[in-house]
């Protein structure tokens, strides 16, 4: 990597923790991916800001949540991965019906806090893996709910490390996209607006939705959830199934027998296996049904 020495000196000088060559397979739900040139784990907003201001001019940064929507190259990443992890997981309650949550908190924990406080509105998200930052970035959604419905505002650092607040209406939420899609901004925290509800009913709804996930999804295998977006007027899983692709294997990557839109790491799959399987599914579905499937999973690296 160009500027490797400079980056190292800088991180050492600022005493910002990092590792070199960190295997990304240990940080993705697919359990796939080679080493990251630098894997930086800032502990404070100040360390994060310094990383943005000082390291970004030397090499591109990638902000990592829980890696539950990522397919990382076997060759690894020639970038600086910045983990927004457990150091950024504060949860506070500014009002009776709102939650202020840092980007590194897990969505699961946020849902559990909402349930404990008898706040309704986040039931849809119970069982979606990943961090709050990742959920905002992706506008994660399920069972007719999405982050769009509950985010009041987001605080973020722009590409120069300057703090901004953006309000719900202007967050540009769409199907698995947001204002943050394609930017180099780092989400710091979100204010979540909910409604007072009944704790038992919230719990019941969450457990019911989780049970539906367990029944329909191959959670026993590593995956990144739904591989393809829902095309207009159809369901990706149904199209893949109709095309006779359930159980199709490329190397160690497989189209799940349980849910055809889940491409799973069946047996030590590489990124190359998974990408080849994705292409094969896209080609055969196009030929057999006319639909062009678009990936929901994000690719990183060559």
- Which is nearest to 296 in space by CA: 135, 140, 176, 130? 176
Residues facing 163 on adjacent strands? 157
CB of 96 to ligand FAD, least distance (A): 27
130 vs 237 by CB, closer to ligand FAD: 130
Active site residues: 176, 226, 296
Rounded to an integer, what distance in angstroms lies between the CA atom of residue 77 and that of residue 129?
23
Sign of CA dihedral 276, 278, 280, 283: negative
29/98 with CB nearer ligand FAD:
29
Q: Which residues bind ligand FAD (CB under 6 A)?
A: 29, 62-70, 84, 103, 128-131, 133-135, 137-138, 140-142, 180, 186-187, 217, 219, 223-225, 298
Nearest-approach distance from CB 220 to ligand FAD, in angstroms: 10
Q: Which is nearer to ligand FAD, 107 or 245 (CB)?
A: 107
What number of other Cβ atoms are within 10 A of residue 173's Cβ? 21
In whole angstroms, the minimum distance from the beta carbon of 134 to ligand FAD comes to: 2
Q: Please, what is the minimum distance in Å from the beta carbon of residue 167 to ligand FAD?
A: 17
| Rounded Cα gap, residues 51 and 161, in angstroms | 9
CB nearer to ligand FAD: give 97 or 190: 190
């Amino acid at each position: 990597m160009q500027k490797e020495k400079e980056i190292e000196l800088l991180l050492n000088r600022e005493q910002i923790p990092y590792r070199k060559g960190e295997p990304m397979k240990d940080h993705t739900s697919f359990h796939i991916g080679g080493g990251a040139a630098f894997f930086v784990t800032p502990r404070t907003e100040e360390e994060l800001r310094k990383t943005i201001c000082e390291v970004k001019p030397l090499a591109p940064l990638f902000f990592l949540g829980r890696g539950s929507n990522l397919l990382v190259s076997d060759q690894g990443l020639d970038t600086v991965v910045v983990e927004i992890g457990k150091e950024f997981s504060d949860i506070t309650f500014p009002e009776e019906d709102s939650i202020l949550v840092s980007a590194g908190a897990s969505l699961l924990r946020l849902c559990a806090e909402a349930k404990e406080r008898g706040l309704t509105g986040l039931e849809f998200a119970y069982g979606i893996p990943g961090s709050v930052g990742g959920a905002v970035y992706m506008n994660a959604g399920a069972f007719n709910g999405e982050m769009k419905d509950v985010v009041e505002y987001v605080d973020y650092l722009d590409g120069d490390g300057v703090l901004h607040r953006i309000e719900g209406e202007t967050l540009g939420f769409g199907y698995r996209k947001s204002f943050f899609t394609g930017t180099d901004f780092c989400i710091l925290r979100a204010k979540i607006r909910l409604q007072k509800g009944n704790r038992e009913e919230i719990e019941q709804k969450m457990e019911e939705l989780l049970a539906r996930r367990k029944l329909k999804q191959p959670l026993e295998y590593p995956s990144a959830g739904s591989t393809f977006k829902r095309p207009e007027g159809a369901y990706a899983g149904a199209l893949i199934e109709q095309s006779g692709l359930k159980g199709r294997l490329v190397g160690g990557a497989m189209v799940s027998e349980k849910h055809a839109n889940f491409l799973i790491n069946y047996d030590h799959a590489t990124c190359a296996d998974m990408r080849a399987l994705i292409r094969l599914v896209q080609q055969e579905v196009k030929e057999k049904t006319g639909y062009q499937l678009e990936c929901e999973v994000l690719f990183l690296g060559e």
